[in-house]
Amino acid sequence: SNSTILKVADVQAMKALGRALGEALLMPSRQAIVVAIRGDLGAGKTTLVGGVLNGVGFKGNARSPTYTLIEPYETPQRHFYHLDLYRLADPREVEALGLRDLLTSDSALLIEWPERGEGVLPVADLAISIDYSAGDTREVSLAAQTAAGEEVLRKVLE
Ligand code: ADP
Ligand code: MG
């Protein structure tokens, strides 16, 4: 199937999901892989990205690019870019980030607050949405929106 909903009990489980996603993103691809991550403030988007980065070999927590908007991470297999568009005032500002140049076949974009870049961002291969009400449990929906996204999702769920 090309979408699924997972119950994620705590921070450790969110990090583990992120690590699995990171490992899946190391696969070769013909195009850049774009992962959009939606959810309210405090939902766990940055925690998930931290897991992804740990999964591809970076130690510690993700530095939230709230002010820089974008933070690059290099691995031998792939360029990872963590974007947080919360402070974007206008979708057209995305162009100033030089996004087009980042969309190479060996890049992966992890984008928090993709709704701020509506109409300017490329279609996400994988659309993730994190829901929560009370307590630590998060409901994470993952939807593949392209063939590349389906491949990544299949690998995450293996
Ligand atoms: P966002 O980037 O969506 O604003 P963060 O990842 O920065 O969210 O923060 C999530 C907060 O929620 C952290 O303080 C984290 O410890 C807490 N938390 C509690 N349970 C979870 C969970 N299951 N997954 C992710 N974060 C959780
Ligand atoms: Mg965040």
Q: Where are the domains of the chain?
A: 3-157
Average pLDDT, the chain: 94
DSSP-derived pairing of the beta strands 126-131 and 107-112: unpaired
Taking residues 122-128, report their average pLDDT: 96
Residue 103 C-alpha to ligand 1 middle, in angstroms? Answer: 28
Residue 1 has pLDDT above 80, yes or no: no
- The pLDDT, as a whole number, for residue 66 is 79
Q: Which of 62-66, 74-78, 92-96, 103-107 is the least confident region?
A: 62-66
CATH no. of 3-157 = 3.40.50.300
Ligand 1 atom at minimal distance to the Cα of residue 40: 3
42 lines ligand 1 (CB under 6 A): yes
Q: Whose CA is nearest to atom 6 of ligand 1?
A: 44
Taking residues 28-36, report their average pLDDT: 95
DSSP for 35-54, please give it: EEEE--TTSSHHHHHHHHHH
Residue 100 has pLDDT above 90, yes or no: no
Q: Which pTM was predicted?
A: 0.96
Q: Whose CA is nearest to atom 7 of ligand 1?
A: 46
Residue 58 has pLDDT above 80, yes or no: yes
CA distance 110 to 147: 18
- The pLDDT, as a whole number, for residue 92 is 85
